[in-house]
Chain A
Amino acid sequence: AQKVTQAQTEISVVEKEDVTLDCVYETRDTTYYLFWYKQPPSGELVFLIRRNSFDEQNEISGRYSWNFQKSTSSFNFTITASQVVDSAVYFCALNHFSGNTPLVFGKGTRLSVIA
């Protein structure tokens, strides 16, 4: 069975601090896909990134970066120099390579960035 754990329920930081959101997954598959989504107060889930299990290169996009480590089954997300607009709930998700089963989501981490 596949499982995604986001152990941090809520995180609060002061603006300009760096923050890392943890994501640990479980799967027996050798090929799988990982995703991060952002849900701002407006409610819509916004896709941020996807990764396949064969690509362990870290990814950077502006202030966002992702660290994928198969050895620890983790796919952590770091926001550098956080801003108030980063306040949202962030979800990590896992998908089987075939896509024949629905995406498995973690329970989310609520990030509050205080000015």
Chain B
Amino acid sequence: EADIYQTPRYLVIGTGKKITLECSQTMGHDKMYWYQQDPGMELHLIHYSYGVNSTEKGDLSSESTVSRIRTEHFPLTLESARPSHTSQYLCASSAAGGWDTQYFGPGTRLTVL
């Protein structure tokens, strides 16, 4: 059983607001990821990190930013939310090797009005 947490689970906000989606894991995993996904559709990798102070952009261009100051914490920030950001955001983590399973959090469903 994976221990990876996301808050909030649901968020409805107005356009222009700054928001931070939280993701934490207690497994000591070096690698963490953020995906954007419209419900039941393709997963789009938007950010990932292979360790503290290391972040990379994923395949999908995103207006969000991330930080990795602590191993267990990988927050995602939108400086100015727009309706086009409405989606589900999934956080995941894994240990270092290619064999290691990537575990997912429960997701945050964001709606921007």
Task: Spell out A's residues near B (CB within 8 Å).
Answer: 31-33, 35, 37, 39, 42-47, 50, 52, 89, 91, 93, 95-100, 102-103, 105, 107-108, 110
Contacts and interface: CB of A to CB of B under 8 A. Distances in A.
Q: Is the interface of A mostly helix, strand, loop or mixed?
A: strand
B105 A44 contact: yes
Contacts of A95: 98-99
B101 A99 contact: no
Nearest to A52: B99
A98 B94 CA distance: 13
B106 A99 contact: no
A52 B40 CA distance: 27
Nearest to B2: A47
Contacts of A42: 106
Contact of A102 (B58, B96, B97, B109): B58
A35 B102 CA distance: 9
Interface string B70-113: 00000000000000000010101010111111111111010000
A43 B99 contact: no
A83 to B, nearest CB: 19
For this complex, into which size category does the number of interface residues on chain B fall? 20 to 34
Given A43-B39, A102-B45, A108-B40, A33 B99 contact: yes
A42 B106 CA distance: 8
A108 B98 contact: no
A105 B43 contact: yes
A95 to B, nearest CB: 5
A45 B90 contact: yes
A98 B43 contact: no
Nearest to B59: A102
Given A43-B88, A102-B58, A108-B41, A32 B103 contact: no
A27 B39 CA distance: 28
Given A43-B88, A43-B106, A43-B109, A98 B98 contact: yes
A105 B42 CA distance: 8
Nearest to A31: B98
Given A45-B104, A105-B43, A107-B42, A32 B88 contact: no
